[in-house]
Amino acid sequence: MTSDITSPPVETRPSLVGKHRVPDRPRTPSRTSRNPLRRLAGGLGTALLSLGTLLFVLPFLFTVVTSLRTAADVARSPLGIPHSLTLKNFSDAFSQIHYGPSTLNTLFITSVSCVAITVIGSLAAYPLARITQHWSTAVYRLFILGTSVPVFVVVAPLYLLMRDLNLLDTYTGVVLIYIALNLPVAVFFYTSFIRSVPADLEEAAALDGCGAFRTFFTIILPLLRPVTSTLLTFVSLQIWNDLLVPLVFLQDPDKRTVMVNAYSFIDPHTVQPTTLFPAALLGVVPLLLIFVFFQRQVVAGMSAGAVKS
C-alpha cells in the first residue's frame, strides 16, 4: 500500500467483543444441491481461482528463481529451467546496496517512529475520545484532516523547516516527519477504539481516587493491545517501504535506508535481472520474515477496514 495508503481503514471493531462471540459459526451457506454438474462447475471454479492467484505470485516466484541463476543462464533463456543455482547474485547485491548498514538504519528509523507514534497517538486519543466538547471535536477533526494530505504537499516547506532547525541529514528529523505523517491514522484508530469501550470502569477508578495518569496506564493502555498490533502493521509497512522522506531528508550515504540505496545504486533500465532481483528481494526479506511470523495479525489488520459495527 503505497504506500499507500496513509488513510486508515474505517473503524476497527474492538476485538474485546469479538473474543467472546460464539466460536466459528458456519461462514459459508450450506450447499443444498449435490448435483454432479454443479460439483464439476464448483471444481472448475476452484481451479480457475487457484490459477488466478498463482498469476499474482508468479512474478514473485520468478524473481526468486531468477535471483538464484547465473547471468549467462538467464540471458540464454529468461523463462528456461535453471541449469545451476548460485548465491553469488545475493552477495553482490548485498555489497552493492550496502545492505547491512542500510538495513540497520531502516530498522532503527522504523522502530523509533513506531514506538513514538503508538505512545503519542494513544495518549492523545484518550482525551479526544472521553472529553466531549467543542474544542476537542475541533482538534479531532484537525487530526483526521491529515489522513488525506499527501506527503508531497508538505515536502517542500518541510525541507525549509528542517534546514532552519538544522535537522537535515539527521534521524531526528526523519523520525519527527514520520510521527507527524502517521499521527492522524493513530489518533483515528485509537479514538474510535476507545469510544467503543464503555467508560464505566474508568469512572469507578476515578471515584476510587485514580488520577488521569493512573487510569490511562492501568485501564486504557492494556485494552489497546489488539488495535495497536493492527496499527503497527500498517505504520511499519508505510515507513519501512517509504522512499521519499529518506531520499529528500537524508543525504549522508551512511545514514541512508535500504530503499534509497537500492533506488540510487541500481538503474532498472540498464541492469541485469540477476542484479535487480536479489536487490529487490533483500529489501523485502526482513519485513517478510516478520510478517510470516505474525501472519494472522497481519491479515486481520489489513482487512479490519470493512468490518464496521
Partner 1 sequence: MFHRRRATMAAFLLPAIVVYGVFMLYPLARGVYLSMTDSLGGPIANFVGTQQYRAMADDPAVTDALWHTVLYAAVVVVVQNGLGLLFASMLFRRPKVRKVLNVVLLTPTLISPVMAAFIWSYLFAPTGGINALLDLVGLHGLNHVWLGDTSTALYSVAAVNIWMFTGYSCAIFLASYMSMPTELLEAAALDGASGWRRFVSIEWPLLAPALTVNVTLSLIGSLKVFEFPLVLTNGGPAGATDTLTLLVYRNVFGGGKFAYGVALSVVLLVTVVVLSSATSSLLRLRERRI
Of residues 142 through 201, those in contact with partner 1 by CB under 8 A are 142-143, 146, 148-161, 176-177, 179-181, 183-184, 187
Write the CB contacts of 197 (distance below 8 Å, at least 6 apart in sequence): 14, 16, 223
Q: Judged by CB, which is closer to partner 1: 53, or 166? A: 53
The answer to the question of residue 99 lying near partner 1 (CB under 8 A) is no
Q: Judged by CB, which is closer to partner 1: 108, or 265? A: 265
Rg (CA), the chain: 24
Query: Which amino acid would we find at residue 43?
Result: G
User: What is d(CA 219, CA 233) in angstroms, rounded to the nearest whole number?
Assistant: 24
User: What is d(CA 100, CA 104) in angstroms, rounded to the nearest whole number?
Assistant: 6
Q: DSSP letter at 148?
A: G
* Shortest CB 88 distance to partner 1, Å: 18
Which position among 240, 249, 250, 256 is part of the footprint of partner 1 (CB under 8 A)? 240
Where helices occur in 27-170 by DSSP H, the ranges are: 36-67, 71-76, 88-96, 99-130, 134-145, 151-164
Per-residue cell: 219: 485501564
Which position among 62, 108, 265, 294 is part of the footprint of partner 1 (CB under 8 A)? 62
* Shortest CB 225 distance to partner 1, Å: 19
Tell me which residues in 200-239 interact with partner 1 (CB under 8 A). Answer: 206, 211-213, 216, 237
Query: Which amino acid would we find at residue 133?
Result: Q
Which position among 112, 130, 196, 219 is part of the footprint of partner 1 (CB under 8 A)? 130
The answer to the question of residue 132 lying near partner 1 (CB under 8 A) is no
Q: Judged by CB, which is closer to partner 1: 182, or 255? A: 182
Q: Judged by CB, which is closer to partner 1: 95, or 132? A: 132
The answer to the question of residue 90 lying near partner 1 (CB under 8 A) is no
DSSP secondary structure string for all residues of 18-38: HHTSPS----SPPP----HHH
Residue given cell 552477495 in the structure block: 91
* Shortest CB 296 distance to partner 1, Å: 9
Three-class secondary structure of residue 288 per DSSP: helix
* Shortest CB 23 distance to partner 1, Å: 14
* Shortest CB 198 distance to partner 1, Å: 17
